[in-house]
Structure 1
Amino acid sequence: MLAMLCLLAVADAAAAMRRIDPGEDPGLKPDEGLVVLAVDANAQISSIRVDHAGGGNAEVLNYLGQGRTLGLYAAAAGEYEWARINVTGWNVRTRFDLKGENYRFEVIAGQISYPGELVMRPLGWTSARIHVANHGLPAIDWLERNHPGPYRQYRFAYAGHYPDPFPEFYRAARADDERPPAELDSGREPPKPASLPVDAETMWRPGRIGDYSLSPSGRLFAEAVRDDDGDWSLRLLDLQTGGEQTLLTRRRAPGMVVWKDDFTLVVEEPGNSYSHVVYRVALGGADGAHRVQRVPIIGKGRVVDLLPDDPEAILFEGYDSHRQLAVHRVVLRGDRDIRGFATAKTRDRLNKGVERDIAWFADGHGRLRAAVALRDEEAVLLYGRDGVYEEVLRPRPEGGFEPAGLSFDGATIYGFSDEGRPQRELVAFDPVRRQVVRTLFSKEGIDIVGLVVDERREPVAARYYLSGQLVTEYFAESGQALERQLREAFPGQTVAVVDRSDDGRQLILWVDGSDRPARLYHLDVAAGRAALLEESAPWLDGLAFAPTRVLRVDSTDGLPVEAFLTLPAGAGDKPLVVFPHGGPIGVSDRRHFDREVQFLALQGFAVLQVNFRGSEGYGRAFREAGMGSYGTRIEDDIEAALQAALAAHPVDGKRVCMLGSSYGGYSALISAIRWPDRFRCAVSISGVSDRPLFFTASDSVRDASLRPLMERMMGDPRTQLEQMKAASPLYRVDELRVPLMLVHGREDDRVDFEHTRRLVRMLNLRGRPPVVLAFPRMGHGFTDPVAIDIAWTGIAGFLQQHLGPATAAAGAGGGRDDMATDAGAGEGSIGKP
C-alpha cells in the first residue's frame, strides 16, 4: 500500500503544472510546453481548479483577487480544462463546475499556449456569468513585461477551437519598436462640438410611455408614465368622462399592466420583478374620482392566463421553496392581500408531467396545453394536456417555425415560418402532427413580422414593413377600411392599433414617423375622433426634424436594394453621414423615429441608411444573399445607394463620413479601406476589426450549435483564414488612413473590446492614433446615460471637425435615453401586437 501511494504521488507530481516565476528559465523537457493561465474576475475567488481533460488535477490557483491575474506554467503536452471555481464570501460558499468544450485547451510541446482568459462576472450570491474569451494582447504584454526571455524564445499561440493569427502578426509589427505597451494604447480625445441644435442629453432623455392597457369595455385606460423628475406613475384615465387619477408613484417603472375585466387591473410591481398587485376599481366616487382598492398578490411569479371566462381567478406560475415551477389557479379574493398562490401546495400544482419546465401556456378555457422546458440545456416546446406532454419543437439557429400564439381551443399554434418558402409567412402549426398545416397570410418578397388576433385568439391581421413603414393588413373588409382611414388621418406616418375594446369601438393607436416621436391616441371609431393621450418625448416639440425618403437602387450585380435618405431642410448640398445598420443578417433600418439619425440631421448632416443584402423584411433569398458577403457585396450595396444619393439629391460628395454600430462599425472601417478617397472620416461603435477574433471572443460562437451558421455568415477561420484576414481592418491597417473614432464598451460580450484594443495598438505602431472612447462596465449596447451623452457629444464633435460645423440651434430640452447598438431599434417600435 505504501509503495502504491508513493507511485501515485510521483505520477501526480509528474502530471502537475509547474509555475514559472519571472526571470526563471522554464527548463522545458522535450514533451513539455508553456501555458499562460489568465483569469479576469470582479469578485474574490478562493480557488480555481485546472484538470487534465481525461481526469486528474493539474493545477489549483488559490486566492485570486479582483481584476486580471496571470501565471506562466510548464506542463506536459496534452489536453486540459478549466474545471471548477470556488467562491467564498459573507459565509456563503459557492462552487461553479465548468463543463463543455469551451473550457478545454491543448498544451503543445515547445510553444507558449494561451487558452484565452477565464472571465467571471457574479450575478448574485449563487450565480455568475462565466466564459472564456481570447484577450491575447494583454497576455502578450504581460509576458513581455514578466517573462521576456520565454516570449522571445517560444512561439505564442492561441489554443482554442479556432486559430488566431494576431500574435504572429503583432510580433512582426513590434519587432523594431521598443516603446512600452502603455505608450501604444493611447487614443486622442474627441473634439468638442462647436454647437448643437439639441444636446445629446436632451435627445436621449428616456421616453415617457411605459406599459398600458385598455379595459374590455373601452372606458378605462391604465398607463405607466414617466414624469419630468424621472419618477414613474401608474395613472388611471376615464376615457368617457375625461377624469384622471394617479394610483401610485415609484422611482422605477411598473412592468406588465393589464385588465382582467372592466374593474380589475393586474400590475407587475415597479422595481420588484414577478411581484404583482391587483387594483379593484369602483366607478363614481362622491368627488368624481373612482374608488380604487390596492391588493397585493403574495408570492412572486408570472401571470400565465387571465382566464377571461372565470371572473374570480387567474393562472399564476412561480417557483416554490424547492425551486420547482408551480402553476396554480389563484382566486382574487382578499381585502388586504391575495394568498392563493403563496399558500398553494406543490402537490396540487396544475403543471404535472413535465420536468425542468420554465414557462406554461393555456388555451382559452384555461387548460394548460404548452410548456417550455429545458432538454439538453436547450429550451424546447412541449405540447399536450392533463399531465401528458411531448416535445414538438426545438429552436433552430436559423429558419424553421417561430411560435406566436395558441388558438382558443388549444389545437393550433400560430406563428411564422420561411422553411421551404420564399419569405416568412403567417402559418398554422399542428402540434400533434408536428408540422405546418396551412398558410394564413403571405406577401411576395416580404417577411411577416407580426400577428393581430381577436378576443377569441383568432388571427385577424398580419403585420409587415413596406418601404420602411409598418403596415397592418386585415383579412376582413371592415378591418381594411379602418386601416385606410387611419393612414388617411396620419399621412406618411406609422399607425398601429395596439389595444382595443372587446366591441372594437374604442382603439388605442401608436403613431410615429421618421420625423416625429411616438404618440398614443385614443380613437372613438363611431365618433371618428382621435384624442392625444401621451407623447413619448414632448421636450422635443419645436425641433425641426427631417423626413426620410425612400431610395431604390440596383447594386453592382443587379440586386434591388432599398435605402432611406434623411435630408435636412435648407439650401445647398449637405454633408453626408453614411449610417449602415448592425447585424447584418436579419436586421433592418425602418422609418420609425430614430434618435441617432435625427441627432445628426439636426446638425445639418444628411443621413443615408441602406437595407443591404441580408437585411430583414425582403424575403429569404435577399436574406441569404448576405451570407458570406461581409466586407464585399454588402459594402457594394452601400456604395450603390451612396452613388444614387449623390446623383439625385443635394448632398456633397466631397464631405462624406461613415458611422456605424456593431456590423455597421466594421462596415465603416472596411469601406474606408476599400474607398479611401470617398470618406473624410469613419466612426466605429462596438465594431469588429478582426474577423477571426470574433470566433474566439464572442458569445455568438460559444454555443457549438451556432458555429455552422456563423461560419456560413462570416467564413470559417480554420479553412478561410487568409480571406478573412483580407477583409479585416486590423490586418489591412496600413490602408486605414482616414481619421478614425472608436467607441467601445469594455464589457462587450458580442464584439469583445479586444477588437478595439488590437486596432488601437496597431494604429499607434503606425503613428496614427485614433480618437477613442472606452467605457468601463458597458456592454454591446450602452445603457448608462452619462456614457450615451459622452459618446454622442464626442461623435458630433468628430463629425463636425471633418464635415463642417453644425447648423444654428433649433431648440433645447433635457434628459437622456438608451443608445441602441444596432441602428433602427429606436423608440418607434410597436409596443404591443
Structure 2
Amino acid sequence: MSGYLPHPLHLLRLLRIALLCACALASPSFSAAAGAAPPPALADFFDNPAFSAARLSPSGKFIAVRYNKDNQRDRLVVIDLADHAIKVVASFADRDVGNFQWVNNERLVLDTTDKTIGPGDERYWPGLYAVNRDGSRFRQLVQASGAFLQERVVANNILPPNHFLVEQTGAQNSDEVYVINPKREGMHGDGDLKHVNLLRLNTVTGRSETVRRPGQAIGWLLDHKGEPRICITLDKNMQTIWYLEPASNQWREIAAFDAYLGGKDAFMPLAFAPDGTFYVKSARGKDKQALHTFDLSTLQLSAEPLVVLADYDFDGELVTTRDKLLGVRYLSDARSTVWFDARMKALQAAIDSALPATVNLVDVPARAEAPWVLVRSYSDKQPQRYLLYHAESGKFNAVGSTHERIVPARMAEQELVRYKARDGLPVPAWLTLPNREAEGKRQRLPLVLLVHGGPYVRGGEWGWSAEGQFLASRGYAVLEPEFRGSTGFGKAHYHAGWKQWGLKMQDDLADAAKWAIAQGIADPKRICIAGASYGGYATLMGLVNDPALFQCGINWVGVTDIKLLYTGHWSFTSDMSAGYLKYGAPALIGDPVKDAAQLHATSPLQQAARIRQPLLLAYGAVDRRVPLYHGKKFVEALKPHNAQVEWVVYEEEAHGWSLPKNRIDFWGRVEKFLQRHIGTAGAAGDG
C-alpha cells in the first residue's frame, strides 16, 4: 500500500540539522486575503539556491547532494539512505563545489567554481578532485591554478589546469573517468579551437592516458561500457564522424556532412545502448528530427524512427541501467519519458498519481541494490525539486528545492499558444499571465514581449522560469515567441529564419504583439519589447521598425550591428570562431560583402536616430560573445536623439549575469523602468 509522506520525521530531522535543505512536498494554499500581499522579493527569483543538485550512486544506496548552509560555500554531501548518516565529503574555504558525479559506488569526482565573483574576476580554472563517499582518499587530479590554497596534502600526477571533466558517466565500475583537453590557437591559448584531446584518468593514482584521435577532434562519445567509441572531427566546414572498431582498435569514417548547414543524411550521435545499438538524431530528409538507430556495418539510418514527435524535433536521451534500455526521455512542449520497461511504466504512473500537475522525471541507478529512485519534479509554477521515491513502499522523502522561498500557489500559469505570422507561418509562443488573471481578468494587460537569444536555438519549454515569473508577479503578461529561425520545431521553421535578422524574424515579433492585442490580452498602449543577445538586437530593431507598437525597450548584452560580429574591434576579441564566421554566419545571418546593403539596413547602430522610445541598456564589461563596444557605440549614436536612455555596465560580468547581486540589481532596474513607462497595478516588491 503506497503512502505520501511530506515530512518523514527521521530523515527531515537529520537534514534540518546537517543540511537545512528539506522542503515540504505540498505547498501551502494561497488565501484570498493574500491577494493584497506584496509580490515576492527579487531575491526569491534571482538568488543562488542553497540546494542545487543531487545524484544517486550506481547502487542506489547513497545520494550525493550539492548544498550550502547560510549562503556560504557550496559543499558536497553524501547521505547513506539505509541509516541516514550524513557526511560532508568535499568543501573549500575559497571555492564552491561545481560539477560532480559518481565514479563508482565508493568514489566521486568533482570540479570547483567561485560563485562570489564574476567571469572578469576569475582567478582559477575549475580543477578536478576525487574523494571517497566517506571523505577519505581525497586527491587533486587537475590544477586549479592561481593562488588556490589546497587544504589537504596531494600527490603527484596532477594535470595542467586546462583539463575538464567529461559529463558522460560510462560504466561507473572502475576508478577511471575521462577528461577533455581543448587546444586553442594563440600565445595564451585563447584563440580558435584547434582540437580537443580525450584522456582516460585514474582518480586514485592520478595517472592519465591520451586517447588517439583520428583528426582535429571537436567532440567525443563514450559507449555504454565507458569506452571511447565515436569521435567528431572538423576540417573547415566539413564535419566527419568516426567509429573506433573494438576488434581492430582503429578509427573508421562512418559519415561526413556540412557542420553548419547540415544536409539530408546529416545526423547527431546520441548514445550507445547496453546491447551496443547506436542511437542518433536525424531528420532523414523529413521536416522533423527523430530518434533513429544507425547500422555501423551498412552505415544506414533505420528506415523508421524509434521516437518521432508530430510538432517538435526530437531532443532527448536514453534512460538505461547497465544492462538494459529502459526508455527514452524527450522534450515536446514539456519533458516526458516513454518507457519500454513495464515496471518503470507502472512506477512512473504511481509517481504521477501522487504528484499531479507536475513533470516528474525519474532517474534510476545504474546497478540498483536498493529500492530508491530519484525524482526531479517541477511545473510552470513549481521550481525544480528533488525527491526520493521508495519503489517498494511507494513513499517519498524530500531532498531539496532549487528555489525554496517560491510559493507555487502565488506563481503564474504558462501555456504554449500558436499564432500566424503575416505570411501565414504558424509560430509557437509561451504565454504567462499574472496569477490573478486566472480568475478571468485577462483584459488589456501591460505586456512584455520577451525575445530569446541565439537566435538559432529553442527559446523555452514548459516549466518554471525566473524571468517570466518575476515579470508576471509584477502584473505583466509575458509573451515569448519561438520566431522563425528557432530550432526544435522542424527544418522549415528553422530555415525560414536564415538571413532574416531585422526582416521576417522581426515581423514575427510584431505579429506576436498584435496577436496579443487582438486576443484582448495586451493593452496596445502598454507594450515593451525586451531581450538579451540576439533578443537585445531584436529589441532595438523592434523600436526601429514598429515605434507605434512598442512603447519601450530593454536590451541586455545585445548585438547592435551585424557587421561588428565579423569585423570586431581593436578593444576586444570575440569568442565566435573563425570557422563559424566564414562558413556558418554568412548563410544563417548574411554575407558581409554580398549582403552588405541588407546588413546596413537592418543594423540598429545605423538606425539609432530613429529610436525615440525609452530604453534600458545593460552590458558586461568582459563579454566576448557580444563585446562591450556593441553597447558603447550604440549609446554614442543614440544620445544626441534620445534623452530617455538608462545605461549600466557590470564590470565583472560577461554574456549575462552570473552574480546574484547583479541579477537583483538588473531586474530591480527593469521593474522600475517598466513601472515608469508602461505601468502596472502590481506594487514594487521588496528587493
- Pair in the same fold by TM > 0.5: yes
What CA distance in whole angstroms lies between the structure 1 residues aligned with 2:434 and 2:175?
55
How much does 1:258 deviate?
3.4
What CA distance in whole angstroms lies between the structure 2 residues aligned with 1:435 and 1:225?
46
Q: Which residue of 2 aligns with 1:14?
A: none
TM-score, with length taken from structure 2: 0.76
What are the residue-to-residue correspondences of 1:60-75 with 2, within 5 Å? none
Please tell me whether residue 773 in structure 1 is matched to residue 648 in structure 2: yes
TM-score, with length taken from structure 1: 0.63
Structure 1 residues 406 and 350: CA distance shift in structure 2, 3 A: farther
Q: Return the match for 1:642 from 485, 509, 513.
A: 513
How much does 1:493 deviate?
2.8
How much does 1:447 deviate?
1.1
What are the residue-to-residue correspondences of 1:208-223 with 2, within 5 Å? 208-223=50-65
Please give the per-residue CA displacement for 1:465-509, whole angstroms capped at 9, x wherever unaligned: 333x21222344554444444444444433212344635942211
| 2:78/2:133 contact within 8 Å kept | no
Please tell me whether residue 397 in structure 1 is matched to residue 268 in structure 2: no
Q: Which residue of 2 aligns with 1:584?
A: 455
What CA distance in whole angstroms lies between the structure 2 residues aligned with 1:720 and 1:530?
59
Q: Return the match for 1:678 from 528, 531, 549.
A: 549
What CA distance in whole angstroms lies between the structure 1 residues aligned with 2:332 and 2:213?
45
Helix, strand or coil for the counterpart of 1:268?
strand
Kindly provide the amino acid, as one letter, of the partner of residue 389 in structure 1: W
Helix, strand or coil for the counterpart of 1:716?
coil
What CA distance in whole angstroms lies between the structure 1 residues aligned with 2:408 and 2:415?
21
What CA distance in whole angstroms lies between the structure 2 residues aligned with 1:307 and 1:650?
50
| 1:615/1:626 contact within 8 Å kept | yes
What are the residue-to-residue correspondences of 1:344-383 with 2, within 5 Å? 349=209, 351=211, 363-364=223-224, 368-371=228-231, 382=242, 383=244
Kindly provide the amino acid, as one letter, of the partner of residue 510 in structure 1: R
How much does 1:701 deviate?
5.9
What CA distance in whole angstroms lies between the structure 2 residues aligned with 1:474 and 1:506?
18
Structure 1 residues 797 and 316: CA distance shift in structure 2, 3 A: closer
Q: How many residues align?
A: 589
Helix, strand or coil for the counterpart of 1:730?
coil
What CA distance in whole angstroms lies between the structure 2 residues aligned with 1:716 and 1:356?
26
Please tell me whether residue 258 in structure 1 is matched to residue 124 in structure 2: no
What CA distance in whole angstroms lies between the structure 2 residues aligned with 1:632 and 1:376?
29
What are the residue-to-residue correspondences of 1:223-302 with 2, within 5 Å? 223-251=65-93, 252-262=95-105, 264-270=106-112, 273-280=126-133, 293-296=136-139, 298=155, 299-300=157-158, 302=165
Please tell me whether residue 540 in structure 1 is matched to residue 406 in structure 2: yes
What CA distance in whole angstroms lies between the structure 1 residues aligned with 2:92 and 2:253?
42
Kindly provide the amino acid, as one letter, of the partner of residue 575 in structure 1: P
Please give the per-residue CA displacement for 1:159-204, whole angstroms capped at 9, x wherever unaligned: xxxxxxxxxxxxxxxxxxxxxxxxxxxxxxxxxxxx9844544431
How much does 1:706 deviate?
4.5
Please give the per-residue CA displacement for 1:681-733, whole angstroms capped at 9, x wherever unaligned: 11111222323333322847642455343222222231222222222223233
Please tell me whether residue 549 in structure 1 is matched to residue 439 in structure 2: no
The more displaced of 719-728 and 458-467 is 458-467
Helix, strand or coil for the counterpart of 1:638?
helix
Kindly provide the amino acid, as one letter, of the partner of residue 225 in structure 1: Y
What are the residue-to-residue correspondences of 1:437-448 with 2, within 5 Å? 437=302, 439-448=305-314
Q: Which has the higher strand share?
A: 1
Q: Which residue of 2 aligns with 1:449?
A: 315
Please give the per-residue CA displacement for 1:236-271, whole angstroms capped at 9, x wherever unaligned: 223344443433433533344334554x13222545
Kindly provide the amino acid, as one letter, of the partner of residue 797 in structure 1: K
The more displaced of 542-551 and 366-375 is 366-375
| 1:211/1:255 contact within 8 Å kept | no
| 2:484/2:493 contact within 8 Å kept | yes
Q: Which residue of 1 aligns with 2:375?
A: 509
Please give the per-residue CA displacement for 1:521-575, whole angstroms capped at 9, x wherever unaligned: 1112332333321011213348822121232222222222222221113356431
What are the residue-to-residue correspondences of 1:479-494 with 2, within 5 Å? 479-494=344-359
| 2:77/2:89 contact within 8 Å kept | yes
How much does 1:368 deviate?
4.8
Helix, strand or coil for the counterpart of 1:440?
coil
**Structure 2 unaligned regions, length at least 5:** 1-36, 114-124, 142-154, 160-164, 182-194
Q: Which residue of 2 aligns with 1:474?
A: 339
Q: Which residue of 2 aligns with 1:465?
A: 331
Q: Which residue of 1 aligns with 2:478?
A: 607
Please tell me whether residue 729 in structure 1 is matched to residue 604 in structure 2: yes
Q: Which residue of 1 aligns with 2:19?
A: none
| 1:663/1:688 contact within 8 Å kept | yes
Please tell me whether residue 425 in structure 1 is matched to residue 290 in structure 2: yes
Kindly provide the amino acid, as one letter, of the partner of residue 131 in structure 2: V
Q: Which residue of 1 aligns with 2:150?
A: none
RMSD: 3.6
Please tell me whether residue 763 in structure 1 is matched to residue 625 in structure 2: no
The more displaced of 379-388 and 214-223 is 379-388
Q: Return the match for 1:717 from 592, 595, 600.
A: 592
Kindly provide the amino acid, as one letter, of the partner of residue 474 in structure 1: W
Q: Which residue of 1 aligns with 2:429?
A: 563
Give 1 or 2 for the bigger CA radius of gyration.
1
Structure 1 residues 528 and 669: CA distance shift in structure 2, 3 A: same
| 2:359/2:379 contact within 8 Å kept | yes
The alignment-based identity, stated in percent, is 25
How much does 1:418 deviate?
2.7
What CA distance in whole angstroms lies between the structure 1 residues aligned with 2:75 and 2:638?
50
How much does 1:435 deviate?
4.8
Helix, strand or coil for the counterpart of 2:109?
strand
How much does 1:381 deviate?
5.1
Kindly provide the amino acid, as one letter, of the partner of residue 719 in structure 1: K
What CA distance in whole angstroms lies between the structure 1 residues aligned with 2:389 and 2:557?
42
Please tell me whether residue 740 in structure 1 is matched to residue 615 in structure 2: yes
| 2:108/2:133 contact within 8 Å kept | no
Structure 1 residues 315 and 201: CA distance shift in structure 2, 3 A: closer
Kindly provide the amino acid, as one letter, of the partner of residue 664 in structure 2: D
Kindly provide the amino acid, as one letter, of the partner of residue 400 in structure 2: E
What CA distance in whole angstroms lies between the structure 2 residues aligned with 1:374 and 1:617?
24
Structure 1 residues 650 and 588: CA distance shift in structure 2, 3 A: closer
Helix, strand or coil for the counterpart of 1:534?
strand
What CA distance in whole angstroms lies between the structure 2 residues aligned with 1:463 and 1:786?
35
What CA distance in whole angstroms lies between the structure 2 residues aligned with 1:513 and 1:259?
28
Kindly provide the amino acid, as one letter, of the partner of residue 100 in structure 2: V
Structure 1 residues 811 and 242: CA distance shift in structure 2, 3 A: farther
**Structure 1 unaligned regions, length at least 5:** 1-194, 282-291, 333-337, 813-833
